[in-house]
Amino acid sequence: MGSVLKKSYFDELCKSMTLIAKNKNSLFLGQSVAYPGNLIYKTLSHIPSKQKMEMPVFEDTQMGLSIGLALNGILPISCFPRFDFMLLAFNQLINHLDKIPLITEGKFKPKVIIRVMVGSKIPLDAGEQHTQDYFKPLKQILKTIDIYQLKKVDDIHTTYQKVIKSKNSSIVVEYSKYI
């Protein structure tokens, strides 16, 4: 009998990012998307550099820029290496991206794909400021943005396929402990 290849969390993320990058209007932006520094970078290392925009530690502005890009026909994939730091972008996320479709009665519906990672506590606990998961509170707050958790390898590619097809903005929560 031949050996069965087991899917890995990392490989499925890379495969999903390749699928998103096929859209010529896609732009991956965030910290360490173009230069090494975190696990998100590693999942994007095969993506052409012209589809990546490196950002400083500037979360609120990054989310605002993502909204502006989306309103102008770009598909931004806004990457946040830690959920804890994405808290700084909640003003733009909750009061703007989530509400624009409602306050414009559907005339404007920017689509942003948000990748956010929950830091691992093993083999080294990165501490309270790097390992929190805000999935449940966000799910309760958001009205027009879909939110997904990637806790199983088999869910990764199908979730990203769903996100790509959706007309809504989406948050995809990834977990570094599985990589």
Domain boundaries, the chain: 9-178
What's the pLDDT tens digit per position in 81-120?
999 999 999 999 999 999 999 999 999 999 999 999 999 8
Residue 129: per-residue pLDDT: 83
The strand pairing partners of 52, in sequence order, are 28
Low-confidence ranges of the chain (pLDDT < 50): none
Residue 14: per-residue pLDDT: 98
* Helix and strand counts by DSSP (H, E) for the chain: 8, 6
Instruction: Name the pTM for this structure.
Output: 0.94
Q: Is residue 82 a contact partner of residue 32, using CB atoms and an 8 Å limit? A: no
* Superfamily the domain 9-178 falls into: Thiamin diphosphate (ThDP)-binding fold, Pyr/PP domains (3.40.50.970)
Query: What's the rounded Cα separation, in Å, for the pair 119 and 133?
Result: 9
Query: What's the rounded Cα separation, in Å, for the pair 45 and 117?
Result: 17
Query: What's the rounded Cα separation, in Å, for the pair 144 and 101?
Result: 7
